């Protein structure tokens, strides 16, 4: 079975069986999307209104800015895999609760296990705190956090960025995001050194 087939099976399973209470208010679940062979996985917070309608992550304004960020380092959406820590839209786009993050955790873990990325890009504080509970995004954006093994996965490098939506509301953060994403090729080059 290919990685794509495995991912499709995982999404089908969790869309049916996920116990997240957000599914009661969301239009639909929003599984990750992109290349199952990706060396980079980008992880956001939760679907927004546009994602809830489309059933795909990062399709709204933040997604367009994310595409612009990727383009600035010669990457396309097809080159990466994009997902969220929570797969259902919280009402009024509120922050997901710890319980909601926990309920969707196995789904995310299975995505990472199948893809086995070299680099995990954490987009925003919620994604960051899923992997590094005490870290503060203002202190670690644009940096590699220690390499760690997540559960039984291979060793992954974790790279932290502000969430692209933050750049839509704050022009100074937009500049920071564009500057920080330009560090990613060096991170990749280091990961692939023999």
Which CATH number is 129's domain given? 3.40.470.10
Do the domain assignments include residue 116?
yes
Q: Report the number of distinct structural domains present in the chain.
A: 1
What is the per-residue burial (b if ≥16 Cβ within 10 Å, else e) of 100-117? bbebbeebbebbbebbeb
pLDDT score recorded for residue 40: 96
Do the domain assignments include residue 65?
yes
Q: What is the pTM assigned to this prediction?
A: 0.93
Do the domain assignments include residue 194?
no
pLDDT score recorded for residue 135: 94
Range of the domain at 50: 3-189
* pLDDT above 80: residue 4: yes
Do the domain assignments include residue 49?
yes
pLDDT score recorded for residue 140: 97
* pLDDT above 80: residue 155: no
Do the domain assignments include residue 12?
yes
Do the domain assignments include residue 179?
yes
> What tens digit of pLDDT does each residue of 8-60 get?
999 999 999 999 999 999 999 999 999 999 999 999 999 999 999 999 999 99
Give the H or E element holding residue 157.
strand 155-161
Do the domain assignments include residue 17?
yes
């Amino acid at each position: 079975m290919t990685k794509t087939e495995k991912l499709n099976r995982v999404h089908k399973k969790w869309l049916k069986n996920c116990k997240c209470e957000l599914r009661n208010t969301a239009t639909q679940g929003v599984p990750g999307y992109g290349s199952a062979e990706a060396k980079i996985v980008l992880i956001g917070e939760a679907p927004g209104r546009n994602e809830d309608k489309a059933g795909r992550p990062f399709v709204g304004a933040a997604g367009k800015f994310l595409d612009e960020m990727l383009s600035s380092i010669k990457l396309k959406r097809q080159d990466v895999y994009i997902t969220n820590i929570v797969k259902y839209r919280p009402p009024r786009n509120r922050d997901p609760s710890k319980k909601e993050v926990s309920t969707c955790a196995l789904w995310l873990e299975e995505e990472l296990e199948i893809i086995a990325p070299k680099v995990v890009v954490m987009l925003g504080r919620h994604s960051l705190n899923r992997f590094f509970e005490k870290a503060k995004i203002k202190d670690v954006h644009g940096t590699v956090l220690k390499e760690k093994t997540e559960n039984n996965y291979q060793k992954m490098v974790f790279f932290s960025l502000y969430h692209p939506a933050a750049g839509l509301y704050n022009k100074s953060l937009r500049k920071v995001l564009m500057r920080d994403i330009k560090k990613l090729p060096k991170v990749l080059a280091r990961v692939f050194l023999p």
